[in-house]
Amino acid sequence: MSEGMNSGICTVVLGCQWGDEGKGKIVDVLAEDVHVVARYQGGANAGHTVHVGEDEFILHQIPSGILYPGKRCLLGNGVVIDALGFGEEYDGLEARGIAVEGRVGVSQKAHLVMPYHRLLDQVSEDHAEQKIGTTGRGIGPAYEEKAGRSGLRVCDLAHPDRAAALVEKGVERACRRAKLLGGELSQDIGAMVEEAVLAGERLNGLATDTGLEILDALRGGKDVLLEGAQGTALDLDHGTYPFVTSSNTTAGGAATGSGIGPTAIDVVIGVVKAYTTRVGNGPLPTGFEPEMNEHFRELGGEFGATTGRPRRCGWFDVVLARYSARVNGLTGLAVTKLDVLDTLPEISIATAYRTPRSEVHEFPADTWQLGEVEPVYETLPGWEAPTQEARTLSDLPDAARRYLDRIEELTETPVQMVSVGTRRSQIIRL
């Protein structure tokens, strides 16, 4: 329990690898018992896949909690909102029978991603010597403008003249920047911007103080879930810089990005996949050789939910998981996609990295050093049996339990949830 008068429980759910850990599924499971679900960073670069019955939903901006009737869903100030994409997502959910009206709030302080940010993101990638492999959603340029103090916020939308001036300057800057990079923005930029500003009117109608709403809910004894996007290794400060996203994906970001103080947070659940994946550029120490990589990609369906790009796959990396436990102050782990390992005769875990000079146990700050390490593996027997029907720990094969025990031991963090399939019911809660 947190201190003070709060009586509801505030839980952060975040990724501990390079994103795509299955946070959407875990949030969906936990959302049943909470009143408010809030996103705190990132934008339409995220892709949270949730299965409800026979239906599959891919959410990019609206929190996964929207799929449970009656939950209030917020986009915090740390999120960058793509007005056009947001509108499409909102309408798409309604069209599929999800009652969205009155349930979504966006922070007055959240910044907008405009078409010129998206175009600039693409021009930057096309002309960069060092390609990051971004999702091309304008995330980096939007956060650059935020940090540069020239961004357009939701609260500006209530003042059309102010918004128009900010947009005009934004277009100018983006055009100049694109030219410097050796490219140009599309001729249609004027029309695109106009459309985005129109779409922004809807955001204006949903504007709220997310921090206040969250604290009011907690004070009223209601539980709150803060939903992270991407993962710890993609955090702007703590990830594999520069191959990162432009926001703080880690637990501290949950406080700044939603508008509450860190002492209001009670629980931090780190989501880890039972193996590792990465999409976009940058090192992946435990990455497989091509043949195994292909095999895993098929087993786990490892293709990006936002871009469809194939993900690189590798063994579970304890060095990263322990680092994530530390920088996020994890109180527990949720292990996902355990069932993907069902057919393997042997499973490895990286317990340390070897460098030319020594063996390291801490995740290196220098991304180029990380690119040169050789993982030290411990190999465990596989279980070679299906786990998708398991609902308690004792339903799992011994070898699967040993694998989870080993993860718990090495990360020094209790495993509290295990996901064994895409459906809501395919979960073991400890």
- In the residue annotation, 20 being an active-site residue is answered as yes
Closer to Mg ion at the Cβ: 117 or 278? 278
In angstroms, give the least distance from the CB of 227 to ligand IMP.
12
In angstroms, give the least distance from the CB of 307 to ligand IMP.
7
Q: Map tokens 């990609």 to a residue.
A: 297
Q: How many other C-beta atoms are found inside a 10 Å radius of the C-beta of residue 112?
A: 31
Q: Indicate the residue type of 412.
A: E
Task: Tell me: does residue 287 bind ligand IMP (CB under 6 A).
Answer: no
Residue 136, classed as helix, strand or coil, is coil
In angstroms, give the least distance from the CB of 49 to Mg ion.
7
Q: Which of residues 46-85 bind ligand IMP (CB under 6 A)?
A: 46-47
Task: Tell me: does residue 427 bind ligand IMP (CB under 6 A).
Answer: no
Task: Tell me: does residue 239 bind ligand IMP (CB under 6 A).
Answer: no
Active-site entry in 20, 28, 317, 339: 20
Near Mg ion by CB under 5 A, which window of 43-51, 130-138, 150-158, 239-247? 43-51
72, interface contact from ligand IMP, Mg ion, none, CB < 5-8 Å by kind:
none
Residue 289, classed as helix, strand or coil, is coil
**Which listed residue (41, 107, 122, 230) binds ligand IMP by CB under 6 A?**
230
Q: Are 373 and 358 a contacting pair, CB within 8 Å?
A: no
What phi and psi values does residue 262 have, to the nearest 5 degrees?
Answer: -60, -30
**Which listed residue (58, 88, 133, 202) binds ligand IMP by CB under 6 A?**
133
Helix (H) or strand (E) holding 354: strand 346-354
Q: Which sign, positive or negative, has the C-alpha torsion 197, 203, 208, 209?
A: negative
Q: Which of residues 287-326 bind Mg ion (CB under 5 A)?
A: 305
- In the residue annotation, 48 being an active-site residue is answered as yes
How are beta strands 72-75 and 111-113 bridged, if at all? unpaired
Near ligand IMP by CB under 6 A, which window of 15-23, 65-73, 91-99, 175-183? 15-23
- Neighbouring-strand partners of residue 267: 11
Q: Are 79 and 109 a contacting pair, CB within 8 Å?
A: no
What phi and psi values does residue 192 have, to the nearest 5 degrees?
Answer: -65, -40
**Which listed residue (29, 73, 225, 279) binds ligand IMP by CB under 6 A?**
279
Task: Tell me: does residue 20 bind Mg ion (CB under 5 A).
Answer: yes
Show Cβ contacts of residue 366 under 8 Å, excluding neighbours closer than 6 positions: none
The set of catalytic residues is 20, 48
Give the footprint of Mg ion on this chain (CB under 5 A).
20, 47, 305
